[in-house]
Amino acid sequence: MEALTVREILEAVKGRLLGDFTDLDATVTQVETDSRTIGRGALFLPLAGERFDGHAYINQALEGGAAGCLTQRERESYLPGKFYIKVDSTHQALRDLAVWYKSRFNIPVVAITGSVGKTTTKDMIAAVLSEKFTVLKTEGNKNNDIGLPMTLLRLGKEHEIAVVELGINHPGEMDFLSGIAQPDVVCVTNIGDAHIEAFGCRENTMKAKLEVFNHARPGCAAILNGDDELLRSAEKDIDARWTGPIIYVGKGEGLDYRAGDLESDWRSQLSCDVTTPRGACHMDIPALGDHMIYPTLMAAAVGERFGMTLEEIAAGVHNFAPTKMRMNILPRGENITILDDAYNANPQSMRAAIEVLDGYTGEYKIAVLGDMFELGPLAGVLHAGVGEFLGRSHVNCLIAIGDLAKNIYDAAITSQVPECYHFETKERAMLTLHDLVRPGTTILVKASRGMEFETITDYLKSITVEE
């Protein structure tokens, strides 16, 4: 982050200085919302939520080295040498500060949204663009109304392009995020069942996602999954004020960017031939699953939009590395492999992960699957659909964990998956896993984030040896 003066902060957030502090030229070089990670000379921005209020930690942050803070209310006393800026809402002030700060940098912004694959697509696009540009990207999946502005506040003079992920779980959120990002390119990965409890149906989900164009910059390009039936009809749902090009990617005939001749070594790599408006190129993707063509094609489309050659794009794809717990392939001794996809889950990503497990080289295949949240009244049916999908695969064993996952278990039994177990707790499941894991086993670990399945991955690592 470049230095900001108190004067500039006051202007950006439309705030009012409290106490006796008068040095408007004092600077900060960092913005923090967590008093535990505060740095010397930082601006502490206390957020208030239903279960917490960062205002309770203002003194701790200032005594820990922060130069000053924002606050929604006046204080009984003020620490000497520290500045306090009064605002109506610290949440709105974070948004306003990020927008003001971003305006100092004349660089393009690539925004990624969709139901499934946002983080993977963001990482792939950043990997490709990094072959030619200095890129700022969203860390992990910090893609909400806090993570996005905090990402943009990391912009520095060295950055030439920003790649940000936009995630929502309620109607109206995307308009807020779009107003912060003001994208030059938008990639929409797909429209699925994630957060359908809040949106009601896929059509409403698409409508909410497409609010990303509400604050797009003139000429913003839309890069859409052309194999997604809903997105193929998206043009009529995009506001008429937006007049940028629409670019479709996928396997289908007539799409702008296409992937064909897919081959997998079912160990660590997917290969395909990519055709673009400018030519064709063979690409090696260091990840598994046919679904990986979509982040690759979107990255190719973004790369060519910013003047990259196919050779540069192919090199960037080859250097792609997934975020932790996003289908990380963990080889262990005795030909045992852990497919760590534990970060999150919804019906579409569950099926994609099962396809990877199904095709993976291994004598014995175990799917450790947990609850998928925020599916509302459709939760039972959608979990059962995963169990039915398992029955059409060559997976040998299901370990289902959680109340909702009981639907996966029941459907898997009906669909004749050879071995099926259901447990209420991870601890009980791990006892059974200890007895099941044998040489030549491949284990998929996947559930919604709230299930905290990384504990299962850690346990599997503890009972196997490094390769």
Cα–Cα dist 389/375, whole Å: 18
Q: Which of 464, 278, 449, 445 is nearest to 366 (CA)?
A: 445
pLDDT band, residue 254 (cuts 50/70/90): very high
Chain position carrying tokens 């109506």: 88
Lowest mean pLDDT among 78-87, 264-273, 445-454: 264-273
Give the residue-averaged pLDDT of 431-453.
Answer: 96
- Evaluate whether 36 touches 61 at the Cβ level (below 8 Å): no
Give the residue-averaged pLDDT of 128-157.
Answer: 95
Q: How high is the pLDDT of residue 239?
A: 58
Higher pLDDT, 199 or 129: 129
Cα–Cα dist 273/255, whole Å: 14
Cα–Cα dist 373/404, whole Å: 9
Q: How high is the pLDDT of residue 51?
A: 83
Q: Is the pLDDT of residue 354 over 90?
A: yes
Q: Is the pLDDT of residue 238 over 80?
A: no
pTM: 0.89
- Evaluate whether 273 touches 313 at the Cβ level (below 8 Å): no
DSSP class of residue 286?
Answer: S
**Rounded to 5 degrees, what are φ and ψ at 420?**
-135, 135
For 68-96, what is each residue's pLDDT tens digit?
Answer: 999 999 999 999 999 999 999 999 999 99
- Evaluate whether 164 touches 119 at the Cβ level (below 8 Å): no
pLDDT band, residue 233 (cuts 50/70/90): confident
Cα–Cα dist 352/173, whole Å: 27
Q: How high is the pLDDT of residue 176?
A: 96
Q: How high is the pLDDT of residue 59?
A: 95
Q: Is the pLDDT of residue 259 over 90?
A: yes
Q: Is the pLDDT of residue 114 over 90?
A: yes
- Evaluate whether 351 touches 389 at the Cβ level (below 8 Å): yes
Q: Is the pLDDT of residue 240 over 60?
A: no
For 1-39, what is each residue's pLDDT tens digit?
Answer: 999 999 999 999 999 999 999 999 999 999 999 998 898
Q: For the chain, what is the radius of gyration of the CA atoms? A: 24
